[in-house]
């Protein structure tokens, strides 16, 4: 673990800023645990109904990260609206030389003689494992455990809670979109195993899944570009973009699988075809029985080439980006039954995915905000292209899409914690965590005292947003 030469005053973050939900907490605590920069968060989840405060999912992350970096925590209780998180090396009176492997990691020897680190995070409720993963996965990928300087031992992480929760990344989105993207930017391939699904619909239930994380490559993470070659030309030709392939994951009662296939075929032909004819795009539909009438889930993923392939190449031999859109149906089943709900799901998800693909994006709206922490911790100029705005028929040059409120919040937290900046095109000069800066990556909290965060500290393009702004998404 990195150490700071002198104690620093906590960076103060107002939890009502921008999106004002749980994402702010997850990113701030992850960066604090990694860099040993103490942080104090007030008005936690202040933009959420019911007054906000820590819920089980957030508290599980607080406790896990606190054990991982031996942090002193004040306000770590359910419902707390103020939290102080002080990692061990930020305390002047703690002797850190004897600090061994954090208790969240346990070494295990397998039957074949191989070794790995085991870790587990139990939310205790059907809270989103996908959101909890946002707090602890970057920590695992960027930290070096004592006695494992080369990070030569893999990690097996098991998360228990909700795997399919409304308004949050599902297990399926993680495996089909997030993890392939992490492989694209330089991390070894992470594999997953689903133990049991946990739902927020049809009665809450707790599930679990496991990630096998190979030894991390040498840090710092090199700069990366999630872009297409034609983005550099500002796409003046405005030619349509066709996916290399489409895939659909349907989780619903088995009796409705054929209806999903029919509705998906119609929606895909409408949005990706020509004159309502089926598009010449390889499409796979995977169906799973949810075993409950109220558990309907659909994920669509488009595989996009990083550059326009030659007409005969069929997208082979190219780097691919993955765009996803999904919907866990969270409405009352219509009076005329499931067919209406299924039609709504297929139409909406395919339409939203087509919008993502047509924009030329290399990451979808929800993946963009998850990449912010990796841009921040990487070394050098990393770029994530999130697409063009819709055509207005006037300008010759298309304008980059505005980041979502979640992405803006993630950028703001990273700026306040480590001093990095993002421009309007999704470009960030990273802090180079894990390089020659003793783990702090030159973050502004590593050497100087920082005053509490204010709206005046926002980037120019987000300065006009006020406290209390939010969007309809669970966190």
DSSP 127-166: -BHHHHHHHHHHHHHH---TT-TT--S-EEEEEEEBSB-T
Phi, psi (5° rounding) for residue 195? -85, -55
Asked if 326 and 375 sit in the same domain, the reply is: no
Strand partners, 213: 155
Please report which confidence band the pLDDT of residue 317 belongs to, taking 50, 70 and 90 as the band edges: low
The pLDDT of residue 308 is: 58
pLDDT of residue 464: 37
User: What value does the mean pLDDT take over residues 318-327?
Assistant: 93
| Structural domain contains residue 77 | yes
Greatest extent of the chain over all pairs of C-alpha atoms, in Å: 72
Could you tell me if 129 and 190 lie in one domain?
Answer: yes
Domain end: 334, 358, 382, which one? 358
The answer to whether residue 337 scores a pLDDT higher than 60 is: yes
For the stretch 413-452, pLDDT in tens is 999 999 999 998 889 999 999 875 444 444 443 333 323 3
pLDDT tens for 41-50 read 999 999 988 7
Asked if the structure places residue 416 within a domain, the reply is yes
Q: How would residue 192 be classed by pLDDT, with cut points 50, 70 and 90?
A: very high
Instruction: Work out the angle at residue 368's Cα, subtended by the Cα atoms of residues 362 and 373, and round it to the nearest 5 degrees.
Output: 125
pLDDT one-digit tens code per residue, 343-395: 999 999 999 999 999 999 999 999 999 999 999 999 999 999 999 887 655 55
Least confident of 88-92, 209-213, 297-301: 88-92
Q: How many domains does the chain have?
A: 2
Closest among 387, 366, 374, 389 to 177, alpha carbons compared: 366
Residue 234 lies inside a defined structural domain of this protein? no
User: Both 140 and 39 in a single domain?
Assistant: yes
CA atoms of 78 and 211, how far apart (whole Å): 27
Kindly state whether residues 200 and 130 are assigned to the same domain.
yes
Judgement on whether residues 51 and 148 belong to the same structural domain of the protein: yes
Q: In this structure, is residue 2 part of a structural domain?
A: no
Residue 161 lies in domain: 11-225+365-457
pLDDT at residue number 218 = 81
3-state secondary structure of 51: helix
| Same domain? 263 vs 319 | yes
Lowest pLDDT segment from 61-65, 105-109, 147-151, 199-203: 147-151
Nearest Cα residue to 173 out of 182, 406, 53? 182
């Amino acid at each position: 673990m990195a150490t700071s030469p002198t104690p620093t005053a906590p960076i103060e973050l107002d939890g009502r800023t921008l999106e004002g939900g749980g994402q702010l907490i997850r990113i701030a605590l992850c960066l604090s645990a990694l860099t040993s920069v103490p942080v104090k968060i007030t008005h936690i989840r202040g933009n959420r109904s019911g007054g906000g405060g820590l819920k089980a999912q957030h508290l599980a992350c607080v406790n896990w990260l606190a054990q991982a970096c031996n942090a002193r925590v004040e306000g770590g209780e359910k419902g707390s609206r103020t939290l102080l998180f002080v990692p061990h090396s930020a305390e002047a009176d703690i002797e850190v030389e004897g600090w061994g492997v954090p208790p969240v990691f346990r070494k295990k020897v397998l039957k074949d003689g191989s070794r790995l680190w085991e870790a587990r995070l139990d939310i205790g409720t059907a809270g989103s494992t996908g959101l909890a993963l946002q707090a602890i996965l970057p920590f695992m990928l960027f930290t070096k455990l004592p006695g494992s300087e080369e990070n030569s031992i893999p990690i097996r992480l098991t998360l228990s809670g909700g795997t399919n929760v409304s308004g949050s990344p599902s297990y399926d989105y993680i495996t089909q979109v997030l993890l392939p993207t992490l492989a694209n930017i330089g991390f070894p391939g992470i594999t997953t195993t689903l133990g049991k699904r946990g739902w927020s619909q049809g009665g809450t239930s707790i599930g679990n899944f496991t990630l096998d994380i190979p030894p991390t490559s040498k840090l710092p993470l090199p700069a990366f570009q999630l872009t297409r070659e034609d983005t550099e030309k500002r796409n003046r030709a405005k030619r349509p973009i066709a996916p290399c392939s489409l895939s659909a994951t349907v989780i619903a009662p088995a009796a409705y699988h054929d209806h999903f296939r029919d509705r998906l075929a119609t929606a895909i032909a409408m949005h990706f075809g020509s004159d309502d004819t089926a598009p010449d795009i390889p499409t796979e539909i995977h169906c799973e029985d949810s075993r409950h009438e109220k558990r309907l889930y659909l994920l669509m993923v488009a595989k996009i080439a990083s550059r326009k392939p030659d007409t005969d190449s069929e997208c082979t031999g190219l780097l691919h980006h993955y765009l996803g859109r999904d919907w866990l149906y969270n409405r009352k089943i219509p009076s005329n039954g499931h067919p209406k709900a299924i039609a709504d799901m297929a139409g909406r998800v395919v339409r939203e995915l087509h919008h993502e693909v047509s924009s030329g994006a290399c990451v979808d709206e929800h993946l963009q905000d998850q990449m912010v922490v990796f841009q921040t911790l990487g070394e050098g100029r990393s770029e994530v292209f999130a697409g063009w705005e819709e055509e207005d028929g006037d300008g010759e040059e298309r304008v980059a899409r505005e980041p979502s409120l979640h992405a803006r919040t993630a950028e703001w937290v990273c700026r306040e914690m480590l001093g990095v900046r993002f421009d309007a095109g999704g470009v960030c000069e990273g802090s180079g965590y894990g390089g020659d800066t003793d783990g702090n990556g030159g973050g502004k909290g590593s050497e100087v005292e920082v005053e509490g965060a204010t709206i005046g500290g926002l980037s120019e393009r987000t300065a006009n947003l006020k406290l209390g702004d939010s969007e309809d998404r669970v966190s």
